[in-house]
Amino acid sequence: MRHALVLVGLSLVVGVGATCAPVPTLPVTRGQAACDEAKMQEHRYVSAVDPSGRYFTDQHGAPLLVFGDSPWAGMVRWSPQQAELYFADREARGFNASIISLIGASANGGPDDDGRTVDGLLPFDGDDVTRWNEAYWQRVDEYARSACSHGNTLFLYPIDGWTAGNAFRNATREDARRYGEMVASRYARFPNIVWMAGGDHFPSDLPGRNDSPPVHDELFDEVLSGIRSTGDTRPFSIQLGYPASISTDSPQWSPHVDFNFVYTYLPTYRAVLDAYRRNRLPALLSEANYEGENNLPGTPVTGDEVLRRQMVWALTSGSPGYFYGSDDWEFLPGWEGRLDTPAVAQLSRLREFFASLDWWTLVPDESAEVLVGGRGEPVGPGAVVGIMGSDYVTAARAGGSLVAYVPTARTITVDPTKLARPTARWVDPADATAPPVEAAIGPSGTVPTPGRNSAGGADWLLVLPLQA
């Protein structure tokens, strides 16, 4: 998420004054449930990393495929009614996670650098991040409950790369640690939180670029220390910088992260595969190109096909999920009417397709054992190439199947001796729950893509039955 402009927000009135009297240093932790108990039993939340280190599990220990959106500015842009509308809509579309900042800044989509909401609620009393204005935090409580009630895990940034230099500009290390304690204490009762820090963050030890002031790392570290001091063990990660990074690129942060936040505007398989190979940590594609934006100079505005490529390349390269984002991360006027684009419908159906597999057993396959021809060449680690500048075929095995993403029209050659039957299924990535196109594989092992998909593109998913 690259931010350069101060953004104009929505005009909405919620009838609450700009500030309230500050509460004592520790905010009051109320005893009510985080969301309706029945809903908490009905829904699943990202709760831990599986012992395999490859994916997340829910509160019951079952694998959970992450399918997220990126409403960065929601905490300070929404009215309570809009928050409920947003989370209900996302639940209906299959989304189960959201990337969101706890405090606003103009560069993360907020109306002002002091962290105020669009209707004037300030999070803090002056510059003291340990003196909380209760009305703001009651608003956050309400939004967290709404997310919980709709099965949405918040990948929550208590501090980020934009608030560190604004709302936290006068915070001492002790203040930041105390703030972390306060956040963790207040939201301990919510089952739907994953902790985040950073955001377009370039620490001093990030190879090639180190723009961020060292004090930002100090503040992030103290906030995390404060969270952990309460006994909170919920997963944590940090988002580094563009055009491509993974959390463990930073030696100082590598020991602290529970999963790799994969962030790339380049062909997504490259960074996901790199993260998958490097660490026994989930390699979660958490930010790529947003719909309606041009995040890599010289590339076209992100549309449906780019979004399909990003998602399926990631899921066939080891990512245990995918985060979508759109140009409405800052909630420009009329965003309510732009929630459900054709791309959202396509990605939702792709989620259903992968959820129907034993997706948590998918292992990336870069060998030539099954796919022996037609894959193309992957981009190199240092190549700065747009999504549409690569046509590489990614593949992954799960149980008795191989799933490959073929982004352009071509003929694929497979080794027939590796197949359980001489047939293949072509799945339309623009309508992945529609009946597949069956194809026979002859003795030579060649199988051509079946023409245009339902969206007019040439990309397809190939599913091959493997011998036991």
Please give the DSSP secondary-structure letter assigned to residue 156: E
| Cis omega (within 30 of 0) for bond into 235 | no
- Domains, the chain, with CATH or none: 37-360 (3.20.20.80), 363-465 (2.60.40)
Q: Which amino acid is it at 161? A: G
User: Is the pLDDT confidence value at 4 over 80?
Assistant: no
159-196 confidence digits (pLDDT tens): 999 999 999 999 999 999 999 999 999 999 999 999 99
Percentage, residues of the chain above pLDDT 90: 87
Confidence of residue 218 (pLDDT cuts 50, 70, 90): very high
Average pLDDT over residues 198-215: 93
For β-strands 260-264 and 283-287, DSSP reports them as: parallel
445-456 confidence digits (pLDDT tens): 999 999 999 999
Check: CB of residue 224 under 8 Å from CB of residue 181: no
User: Is the pLDDT confidence value at 378 over 60?
Assistant: yes
289-304 confidence digits (pLDDT tens): 999 998 888 899 999 9
What residues have CB less than 8 Å from 104, skipping those under 6 apart? 73, 75, 76, 77, 110, 111, 112, 115, 116, 117, 163
Q: Is 446 exposed, middle or buried (0-12, 13-18, 19+ CB in 10 A)?
A: middle
Question: What's the whole-model pTM score?
Answer: 0.92
Question: Residue 114: left if φ>0, alpha if ψ -120 to 50, beta else—which one?
Answer: alpha
Whole-number mean pLDDT of the chain?
A: 92
User: Is the pLDDT confidence value at 346 over 60?
Assistant: yes
Q: Give ∠ CA 196-51-57 in degrees, rounded to 5.
A: 60
Residue 38 has a pLDDT of 63
Question: Residue 76: left if φ>0, alpha if ψ -120 to 50, beta else—which one?
Answer: alpha
Residue 7 has a pLDDT of 30
Average pLDDT over residues 46-71: 98
Residue 323's beta-bridge partner residues? Answer: 68
User: Is the pLDDT confidence value at 10 over 80?
Assistant: no
